[in-house]
Amino acid sequence: MEDFSKKITLLYIPFLLTSIGLCLGYTFLNWLIIINLELISIKDVIIDFGLPLILPAIPVLFYLRPKLKLLNLSAKKGGSWIDFYTFILWVAISVPILIAQNYIETATGELTPLKNISQLDSLPKTKYYSVEGVYIEKNNIGTNSVFEVSGKHNENFDMYIYVTVPMYRSATDTTEVISWLGLNYSKSIKNNLEDNEKEEAYTAFANQTQLDFDQIDLTQFGYLMRVPNSDKGDGLRDAVKKSTKYTVANSTQLFWSVNEPFEDRNGNTLAWTGIVFAIGSLIWLIMIIIPAFDPAVLQAHESGAIDSNEEVKEFVDYLKPKEGFFITPILVYANVGIFLLMFFMGFGFMSFNSKDLIIWGANYGPLTMQGEWWRLATNTFLHGGFMHLAANMYGLLFVGIFLEPLLGRMKYVGIYLLTGIIASAASLWWNDTVVSMGASGAIFGLYGAFIALILTRVFPKEMGAGFLVSMFIFVGFNLVMGLIGNGIDNAAHIGGLVSGFLIGLALYPSLKGTFKMDGVNEKEESVDEDE
């Protein structure tokens, strides 16, 4: 009973306070800064999805994870459950925040009644409007067609048609566009079709869109809702600009029509926020009850012998360039920096579309083989989304801790860049229509070199078996995931792994006897860092 009470105090209450505090705090700031005051304009994918996933990671890693060391989470066959517990913590805190943002966006904003659409400019701006008098002119529309490629091997060709319809005061007063009503249509076909077949498919899609548009009664709607700052919003705004009735002053007055009752707009999102939070809290309670405390760690904690900032210091140390570990943090900064730049420019979070990635330097056969060979290198600093980036940076830090001190800066960065380029070339050779990106080819090259040096006993025996198992699990998992079709480029992985392994074998004679195990991982003083 005493242990249960301590678990509630040390592990459960901090979780509850963190989860509730983050959910309420972030939701309030979203409402105040973005929705109510409109101080800044940020893509909704960032506000509603990106930040709710990123922000919880900070208290989870630096506040809650260190507390998990109080529990005996060691697995019977070695290793620890602490990473699994950390992941559950992150999910339990993040998901309610995600759902809450959907609620606050739909719940916020009054339904402003308009006698006539012309009152838009004279009344305070809001999100929702009911309109009694409006003339919707279907003969002066704006249209915008957008084409994207998607899928693991670019197998899908996605077509979008955005339509904007001007709204006037009345049928007799069409001199000024008051606002625009937006509609969007989409269709996906196979990307391996010939260009003429794609043109035929688009023509059929456009004709069907025209038929659907002609049949729809745009005057029959419950209320209007402002189009948010989103990719669909961008498509609609471009459609407005292509209309002959376009004026700069009214370009932002863009709405969707909603046919459901206004009171139904929230659905059950508030209830689901509470339900998901309750489920996560219950799961976490069960998870901390099952394992026992680690007596030594608990005693040290109660006596004040444990540094509460130890986890932060360790993390910062991993990311701080220093003697023997300089290039790895720089590579992490470069990869993360490019991702964040794309993120804050509104290109996405969990995923980026192929068109944007190509513009930023992804490896794409038709362009690379036309002379843009620099794509073989630049693509190694791009990632398809957050999870892609996170997995690669974790793998890079793991291998870099051991490999960079041994190789020195020049050899280490040389292997990274060379195997990354070889991996890109392998991807291009295997399928020249794939949009390839990611540091995983270069990282697999480092892993290949690491494996070669372990097998040749450059690293000591005590590192061999355990590290080989860990690396084979990492490598095998990625290769298997590539086979089952989740968007992983196995050609690049294999190209990087094989080339790195061969480079490791070539370096073996010069590195034999230069590594010394002392505690965790140290390099002999005789090894030249800049070698």
Task: Return the bridge partners of 185, or none.
Answer: 161
CA distances from 146 to 149, 188, 231, 256 (A): 10, 12, 11, 19
CA distances from 264 to 3, 27, 107, 222, 224 (A): 47, 21, 10, 11, 14
DSSP 3-state of 515: strand
Q: Which residues contact 43 (CB under 8 A, 6 or more apart)?
A: 229, 230, 231, 346
CA-closest candidate to residue 488, choices 204, 79, 153, 4: 153
C-beta separation of 445 from 499 below 8 A: yes
Tell the burial category of 6 from Cβ atoms under 10 Å away from its Cβ (0-12, 13-18, 19+): middle
For residues 302-339, one letter each, b for 16 or more C-beta atoms within 10 angstroms of the residue's C-beta and e for the rest, the string is: eeeebeeeebeeeeeeeeeeeeebbbbbebbeebbebb
DSSP 3-state of 197: helix
- Which amino acids are annotated catalytic? 440, 493
CA distances from 293 to 64, 90, 499 (A): 15, 22, 46
CA-closest candidate to residue 89, choices 110, 113, 73, 65: 65
Instruction: Find where tokens 């963190």 sit.
Output: 18
How many alpha carbons fall within 13 Å on the CB side of residue 266? 16
Strand ranges, E, within 194-260: 223-226, 254-258
CA-closest candidate to residue 135, choices 163, 180, 175, 169: 169
C-beta separation of 298 from 70 below 8 A: yes
C-beta separation of 300 from 353 below 8 A: no
